[in-house]
Amino acid sequence: MSVKIYSVAQITKLIKDILEANFYGIWVEGEISSLRYSSTGHLYFSLVDEKASLGVIVYKNRLKNIRFELKNGMKVVLFGSLSLYLKGGEYRIVAEHIRLSGAGKKFYDLEKLKQEFKQQGYFDRKRAVPPYPRKVIVITSPTGAAVQDIINIIKRRGAGVDIYIYPVSVQGETAKESILKAFKEINKIDKADMVVLARGGGSNEDLWIFNDPDIAKGFFDVKFPTISAVGHETDFTLCDFVADLRAETPSAAAELITKSKVEMLENIKKFKRILGLNMQRILNNNNRQLTLYSKVRFRLRIDGFIGNRILYLDNLEQKINSSVLNKIASKKSQIQKHLNVIVGNSPSTKLKTIKHKTELFQFKIEEKIKLILENGRRDLDGYTYKLTSLNPENILKRGYTITTDTQGKPLKSVNEAKKNDCIITRFFDGSIKSTIKN
């Protein structure tokens, strides 16, 4: 029975494969010790606790991911993968991200969510982004720097791209509802070449809304090809992974959108220059050959040939221009139709309709109030006339009198008066006091 004998390199390679395959994308918590930078700019330190120590390396290009100063004795949580150095037989963790202790669970939950999305196939679908887009919808804050960067770069590069901004809130309590509503409304549009989700740089907390699973799923469900342009080059969100294409920044997204068109224009200029040189070379050769023949004999033939070629090129140019203009007119008509739909469903249009209805309702109420007041005024005039007619003062003016006792009590019958009583007779212009004799 033969015994398998491993070389040092073989056994170390097996250990390396086992370690790196089983300890990939892990979070580790501990205190920093023996912190030092190498001459090449890489960062080395040990991550320790009460019982053990683990070597850590942060490569120079990952140091910009760390937003705070690392110090010995600082308790941190880092994310990375175990790696074994074959020549030295030493293993260490290659750190990708480092956070102060306490933030680890949040990022751990995000990594777990990424794994779930990956298993469900959200990261696998990558639709081709049109190389020469005409209509691009940008979902972003209308007041941020990102939207200005995109517009300025596309205009400067002269790519002939129509940009439609769908304004949303990109942070705060209303951000999620605002972004999800944008996805639903955009899916109602008939035609667009691509949709860009953009947000300028910020802290992890500022960008965390783009790690929301509902927003990531909503972005995945957008029916047009998508580009995620959130944060800076080192920032990765869940929306980056579900998008058909990730741009490092909003500015990079604008350059990606116009890249093929700009390259095509540059190639056209290059080919035009080459074609011009070749045509000039051919013409020079032909001129040299023509000098060998009689100018009188071939002049008419050459003039006729050139005239036919010019006529053919003019007709071809006219057809091409007509075709291009027709296509442009058709695209403009479609864009205007979609724009009318967007304007018709915009809050400002609906507010105008509601305002018009409110003003009409207010006018009707005012007319009703005027009618009620007018009827009340007529009724008041009638009651006033009746009261005036029944006023005792007016009755006295017609020759009637009122007789009362000295206490002012009216005497309604002769039987209420007695001999020697004092009575008062009231006329319209005064009164008479008298004593009853008989």
Whether residue 207 is found in the same domain as residue 248: yes
Residue with tokens 């040990």: 46
In a domain, 82, yes or no: yes
What is the value of pTM for the model shown?
A: 0.43
Whether residue 147 is found in the same domain as residue 254: yes
- What phi and psi values does residue 433 have, to the nearest 5 degrees? -100, 130
Residue 380's pLDDT is 86
**pLDDT, tens digit, for every residue of 304-333?**
667 677 777 777 778 887 887 888 888 888
Single out the residue in 220, 242, 258 at which a domain terminates.
Answer: 258
Residue 260's pLDDT is 60
State the CB neighbour count (10 A cutoff) for residue 432. Answer: 11
Residue 297's pLDDT is 56
Domain that holds residue 400: 396-435
Number of folded domains that form the chain: 3
pLDDT in tens, the chain (438 residues): 577 887 888 888 888 888 777 888 889 988 888 899 999 889 999 998 888 889 999 999 888 888 778 888 788 889 999 888 877 778 889 998 888 876 555 666 787 888 899 999 999 999 988 888 889 999 998 888 888 888 888 888 766 788 899 999 988 888 899 999 999 999 999 999 899 998 987 777 788 889 999 999 999 999 999 999 888 777 788 999 999 999 888 888 888 887 766 566 565 667 677 777 778 788 877 777 666 655 555 565 666 667 677 777 777 778 887 887 888 888 888 888 877 777 667 677 777 788 888 888 888 888 888 889 888 888 888 888 777 777 777 777 777 888 888 888 888 888 888 888 898 988 878 889 899 888
In a domain, 337, yes or no: no
| Cα 136 to Cα 63: distance, rounded to the nearest angstrom | 35
Count of helix runs (H) and strand runs (E) in the chain: 11, 13
Q: Which of 27, 21, 65, 25 is nearest to 43 (CA)?
A: 65
In a domain, 368, yes or no: no
Query: Do residues 144 and 199 make contact, with C-beta atoms less than 8 angstroms apart?
Result: yes
Query: Do residues 131 and 119 make contact, with C-beta atoms less than 8 angstroms apart?
Result: no
Query: Do residues 79 and 27 make contact, with C-beta atoms less than 8 angstroms apart?
Result: yes
* CATH code of residue 231: 3.40.50.2300
Residues 6+ apart with CB under 8 A from 16: 83, 84, 86
Residue 269's pLDDT is 64
Single out the residue in 213, 231, 258 at which a domain terminates.
Answer: 258
In a domain, 161, yes or no: yes
Whether residue 97 is found in the same domain as residue 139: no
The share of the chain scoring above pLDDT 70, in percent, equals 89
Single out the residue in 102, 123, 150 at which a domain terminates.
Answer: 102
Residue 326's pLDDT is 83
Please give the torsion angle defined by the CA atoms of residues 114, 119, 125 and 126, in that order, rounded to the nearest 10 degrees. Answer: 40
- What phi and psi values does residue 102 have, to the nearest 5 degrees? 115, -25
* CATH code of residue 93: 2.40.50.140
